[in-house]
Each structure stands twice: as structure tokens, then as C-alpha cells.
């Protein structure tokens, strides 16, 4: 079918909303942790499992089969049903009566969100010509910081005014309405390349390609660098609202907006700036992709430490912004390395495998923070969470730098091998 510019703009707007709801609904629960923990009398370990492994593990695990489903059928239907299902689960999180019900709803929300990005990326690639594709994907990606910003800001303000249950139900409704708009208005362009392989065959081929990629040391090290960076980043991101509430005795309605600025703005700046910086450095030496990607996370470590040693919320907020600004710069470097190492014929598989493994490994971060917080609670009281986040963020940031250095050693050889016929 021929796609007009108006249809492209409508499609891009709808997919931007998908990206926005994807991140907004995902991190909304983090800002609601203090009242939920109080109402259900939860331990920090239970909260960490729910916000970390309970969501991310299944989100990562379902990414490849759902992507294969989108490649074999209608991407519009996959995106629409995925958005509708996770929006319903977001609302369901506000209706649960105990921890187990909340955990199940959270897991199903993660399964639904696994159907957002892969088919959206594929659809935009077919909707836009190569010379306009990067701009379209960039606009889609902006949904992440905007969604995170709205989730923390609006969720925090609404929580104190209307209660956490109302917030979750209210955030689920727009997603369902947008899903209906996707079924009605999102075009389904002709695929540039198509085949008749079944989903099982596609998944099997993907796993074999990943096994081949694992023989490239740089691919392994970039996954480990991103996993260790994300381990600390996810722990801090999911626990930051609870930390500010406990440490500085502030209401959720204040902590949410404060952290919305930190999380959303730092990610937005890093997404734009990091790619330009490392592209310039790579002209001098390609190994800068790994040196910069790992080193910039190491630079964030002392700022993370200073956050959890700060005595005022203003100082903690500023330092956390700087720490996240540096840490978020890692992503652009890592994604570039993955594409180079994969070579021209298995880039989608390399990206899917990278995201799956990084998400699974990093999902332990919030859970470990909860375990350590509970273990140190008798000794440190309300300060136990800050101590846990300090150690996790610093140790795993330095660990990321180690893999950045190791990956740089094999990078040139792996780049050259990937380009050979």
C-alpha cells in the first residue's frame, strides 16, 4: 500500500504514545512504592522483587518470541493488543488486594510491554525511507524520557491527592484508548523483506545466530558492560522515590516531581549528546566506543556515592542528575558496538539478544537492593536503603568500566570479522 505523509505523521504520533506509555506505566510503580509498602506491610526485598525481577525478567524473556510473531503477522495488531493488555494490567495493579495479586499483575504488565518496541521499530523502518528513518526512530525514542517524566511527576502528585490505586487505574485508561486508535488508524506498510518461516523456525534461527555472536569477545563484553551499568541504574531508579521519602521525610507528591526532572532531563540530554561525542572520538580510534561507554559510567560512581551521603534533598537531587547524565551516556555507545559487531546480516538478532540478556541480568539490581536494605535495617534503620544503593551503584559502575576496557581490546578484530563475507 502507498503511504502518504499524513499517514506517516499519524503513525509516528501513535507510536510515540506507545513508547511514552511503555515507560510511564513501567516506572509509575516506583514512585508509588512508599504508600504500597505501607498498605501491604511489605519488606524491601518483596518490593525489589516486584519492581525488578517480577517485571523485567518476563519482559526480557518474551521479547524475542513476540518480535518473531510481529515478523510473521500484523505488526499493528501486535502493538495494539500489547498496549491494550499492559494498560489493563496497569489498571489492575490499582485494584489488587494483596502482594501476590500485585506481583502477578506486574508480571503480566511486563509481558505486554515486551510487544512494544520491536514491532514499532520494524514498522517505522518500513514507513520511512532510509534518509528519514533515523529522525523517526529518534522521535519514537523520546517517548522514554517523556514517559518516565510524566510517570514520576504526575504519579507523585496524584498519589498524595487521590491515593495510589486511583493513580494506577487513571494511567491505564489512556493506553486502552490509544490501542483502539492504533487498530483504527495505524497503517500496515508492505514489508521490505518477508519470508514464510514459522515463529518456531524464526526463534530457532535467532538462537543459533546468538550462539555464533557469543564467539565474538566484544559482543560478550558489551553485554556485560551494559548489564552491570543497568544493574546499578535500575536499582537507583526504582528505589529513588522511596529513598527521598525515607531519608528526607518528604511526601511522595514532592519526591515525584523532583525525581521527574532528574530522570527525564538527564536521559534526554544523554541520548542527544553521547552519540555525537563518541562518533567524533571514534574517528581517532574505534575503541573509543568501548572506552567512552565504560569510562563514562565509572565517572558516575563518585556522584552516585555523594548522592547517598548528602544531607539535603537539593544536593542529592543535583548529584543524582549528574550521576544519571553520565551513566545514561553509556547506551548510545553500547548499541553502536552491537550493530558493528553483528555485521549487516544479523543486526536485529544481535540487538534482540543484547536487550534480552541485559534486561534479565539487570533485573536483579532492585531485588538485591531490597535484600541488602532489609539486612542492614536493624543496624542502620531508615538509612539502610541508602547504604544498599550506595554500594550497588558504585560497585557495578566500576564493574562496567572493566568490561569497557576488556571489550576495547578485541573490538577492532571483531569489527573486521563482522564485515567479511
Asked whether residue 189 is domain-assigned, the answer is: no
Q: What is the pLDDT of residue 74?
A: 82
- Residues with pLDDT less than 50, the chain: 193-195
The reply to whether 156 and 213 lie within a common domain is: no
- pLDDT the model gives residue 203: 60
| Domain end call among 184, 208, 239 | 184
Do 180 and 257 lie in a common domain?
no
| CA 246, 251, 254, 260 torsion-angle sign | positive
Is 301 domain-assigned?
yes
Render pLDDT for 17-69 as a digit per residue (tens, 0 to 9): 999 999 999 999 999 999 999 999 999 999 999 998 988 888 888 877 777 77
Does 65 share its domain with 93?
Answer: yes
Asked if the structure places residue 421 within a domain, the reply is yes
The whole-number pLDDT of residue 193 equals 47
256 with 364, same domain: the answer is: yes
- Report in angstroms the alpha-carbon separations of 224 from 60, 133, 221, 325, 404: 16, 29, 5, 20, 9
**Same-domain status, 171 and 293:** no
Instruction: Tell me the C-alpha distance between 197 and 301, whole Å.
Output: 46
Say what the pLDDT of residue 263 is: 86
Q: Please tell me the total count of domains within the chain.
A: 2
Same domain, yes or no: 233 and 148: no
| 274 and 367 belong to one structural domain | yes
Same structural domain for residues 326 and 409? yes
Considering the domain boundaries, does residue 392 fall inside one? yes
Domain co-membership, 243 together with 265: yes
Condensed to tens digits (0 to 9), the pLDDT of residues 33-46 reads 999 999 999 999 99
Of 131, 164, 184, which residue constitutes the final position of a domain?
184
- How many Cβ atoms from other residues are within 10 Å of residue 291's Cβ? 21
Query: What SS3 string covers 280-294?
Result: HHHCCCCCHHHHHHH
Which is it for the CA torsion 382, 107, 328, 404, positive or negative? positive
Domain-located, residue 191: no
Residue 52 within any structural domain of the chain? yes
Give CA–CA dist 230/74, Å, rounded.
32
Nine cell digits for residue 289: 566506543
Which of these three, 160, 184, 208, is where a domain ends? 184
420 and 306 in a common domain: yes
Contact 83, 182 (CB under 8 A): yes
Q: Which of 333, 338, 332 is nearest to 351 (CA)?
A: 338
CATH of the domain at 324: 1.20.1250.20
Has residue 190 been placed in a domain?
no
**Spatial CA neighbour of 109 closest among 47, 162, 172:** 172
> Vertex 309, ends 307 and 314: CA angle to 5°?
50
Question: Which of 340-347's residues contact partners 24+ apart within 8 Å by CB, and which partners?
Answer: 340/289, 340/415, 340/418, 341/213, 341/216, 341/218, 341/219, 341/222, 341/411, 341/414, 341/415, 341/418, 342/213, 342/219, 342/418, 343/418, 343/419, 344/419, 346/209, 346/212, 346/213
Q: Residue 32: its pLDDT value, please? A: 95
Based on the fold, state whether residues 171 and 30 are members of the same structural domain: yes
* 102 within a domain of the structure (yes/no): yes
pLDDT value at residue 194: 43
Task: Please check whether residues 149 and 227 belong to one and the same domain.
Answer: no
Domain assignment of residue 171, given as a range: 1-184
Amino acid at each position: 500500500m502507498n503511504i502518504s505523509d499524513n499517514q506517516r505523521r499519524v503513525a509516528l504520533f501513535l507510536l510515540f504514545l506507545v513508547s511514552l506509555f511503555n515507560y510511564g506505566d513501567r516506572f509509575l510503580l516506583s514512585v508509588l512504592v512508599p504508600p504500597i509498602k505501607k498498605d501491604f506491610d511489605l519488606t524491601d526485598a518483596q518490593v525489589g522483587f516486584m519492581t525488578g525481577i517480577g517485571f523485567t525478567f518476563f519482559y526480557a524473556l518474551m521479547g524475542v518470541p513476540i518480535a518473531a510473531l510481529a515478523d510473521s503477522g500484523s505488526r499493528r495488531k501486535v502493538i495494539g493488543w500489547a498496549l491494550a493488555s499492559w494498560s489493563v494490567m496497569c489498571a489492575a495493579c490499582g485494584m489488587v488486594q494483596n502482594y501476590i495479586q500485585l506481583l502477578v499483575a506486574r508480571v503480566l504488565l511486563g509481558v505486554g510491554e515486551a510487544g512494544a518496541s520491536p514491532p514499532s521499530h520494524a514498522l517505522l523502518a518500513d514507513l520511512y525511507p532510509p534518509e528519514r528513518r533515523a529522525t523517526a526512530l529518534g522521535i519514537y525514542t523520546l517517548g522514554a524520557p517523556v514517559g518516565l517524566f510524566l510517570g514520576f511527576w504526575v504519579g507523585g502528585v496524584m498519589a498524595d491527592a487521590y491515593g495510589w490505586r486511583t493513580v494506577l487505574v487513571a494511567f491505564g485508561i489512556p493506553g486502552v484508548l490509544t490501542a483502539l486508535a492504533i487498530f483504527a488508524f495505524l497503517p500496515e506498510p508492505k514489508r521490505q523483506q518477508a519470508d514464510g518461516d514459522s515463529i518456531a523456525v524464526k526463534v530457532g534461527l535467532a538462537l543459533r545466530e546468538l550462539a555464533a555472536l557469543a564467539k565474538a569477545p566484544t559482543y560478550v563484553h558489551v553485554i556485560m558492560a551494559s548489564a552491570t551499568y543497568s544493574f546499578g541504574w535500575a536499582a537507583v531508579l526504582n528505589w529513588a522515590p522511596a529513598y527521598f521519602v525515607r531519608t528526607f521525610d518528604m511526601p511522595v507528591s514532592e519526591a515525584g516531581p523532583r525525581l521527574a526532572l532528574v530522570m527525564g532531563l538527564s536521559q534526554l540530554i544523554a541520548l542527544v549528546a553521547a552519540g555525537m561525542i563518541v562518533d567524533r572520538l571514534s574517528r581517532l580510534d574505534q575503541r573509543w566506543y568501548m572506552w567512552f561507554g565504560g569510562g563514562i559510567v565509572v565517572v558516575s560512581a563518585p556522584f552516585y556515592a555523594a548522592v547517598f551521603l548528602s544531607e539535603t534533598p537539593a544536593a542529592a537531587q543535583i548529584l543524582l542528575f549528574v550521576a544519571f547524565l553520565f551513566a545514561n551516556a553509556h547506551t548510545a555507545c553500547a548499541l553502536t558496538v552491537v550493530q558493528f559487531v553483528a555485521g549487516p546480516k544479523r543486526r536485529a538478532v544481535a540487538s534482540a539478544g543484547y536487550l534480552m540478556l541485559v534486561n534479565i541480568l539487570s533485573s536483579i539490581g532492585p531485588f538485591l537492593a531490597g535484600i541488602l536494605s532489609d539486612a542492614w535495617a536493624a543496624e542502620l534503620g531508615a538509612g539502610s536503603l541508602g547504604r544498599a544503593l550506595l554500594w550497588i551503584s558504585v560497585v557495578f559502575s566500576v564493574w562496567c568500566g572493566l568490561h569497557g576496557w576488556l571489550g576495547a581490546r578485541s573490538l577492532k578484530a571483531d569489527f573486521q570479522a563482522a564485515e567479511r563475507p
